[in-house]
Amino acid sequence: MSIEARRDVFQAIADPTRRQIISLIAQKPMNLNAIACNFEISRSGISQHIKILTECGIVFVRQEGRERICEAKLETLREVSNWVEQYRQFWNQKFNSLDNYLNKIQLSNKSIKKQHGKSNRKKGRLKNSP
């Protein structure tokens, strides 16, 4: 199946039930019934979620006798990780720039207060001198 024909991995992880399914089978492969026991939805509902996860390449389903065993293929989530990473770097740069700017302002304000404090002390001495 080509990448264009598959569903988007972001679509798969957008649903909280599918994220829970991924978490479950990331720990150990499970059959559909075992997965369904963890949710308050029908087995056919779970099958639909598994179908979407399979189309995205996050889950691999293999037949063992009469059972369908679901395994997580977490390397597929690398696409999400890479996408998030680029924005993490972007925002880290923005926050670092903001931090530098705020430090600069803080130093500037301290400098102004020192100068203001010196001029007030000089004025105070002048007033108190004979």
CATH number at residue 65: 1.10.10.10
| Domain contains 96 | no
Chain segment 73-93, per-residue pLDDT in tens: 998 888 888 888 989 998 999
Domain that holds residue 46: 9-72
Chain segment 40-70, per-residue pLDDT in tens: 999 999 999 999 999 999 999 999 999 999 9
Cα(71)–Cα(92) distance, integer angstroms: 35
Other residues' Cβ atoms within 10 Å of the Cβ of residue 94: 10
| 74-78 LR contacts (CB < 8 Å, sep 24+) | 74/22, 74/26, 76/9, 77/9, 77/13
Number of domains in the chain: 1
Is the pTM here over 0.85, yes or no? no
| Domain contains 31 | yes
| Domain contains 66 | yes
Cα(44)–Cα(112) distance, integer angstroms: 70
Cα(107)–Cα(11) distance, integer angstroms: 47
Question: What is residue 26's predicted lDDT score, i.e. its pLDDT?
Answer: 95
Cα(12)–Cα(18) distance, integer angstroms: 7
| Domain contains 114 | no
Cα(94)–Cα(100) distance, integer angstroms: 10
DSSP assignment letter at 73: -
Over the chain, what is the mean pLDDT?
85
| Domain contains 99 | no
Q: Residue 114 region, left (φ>0) first, then alpha (ψ -120 to 50), else beta?
A: alpha
Residue 79 in tokens = 């696409």
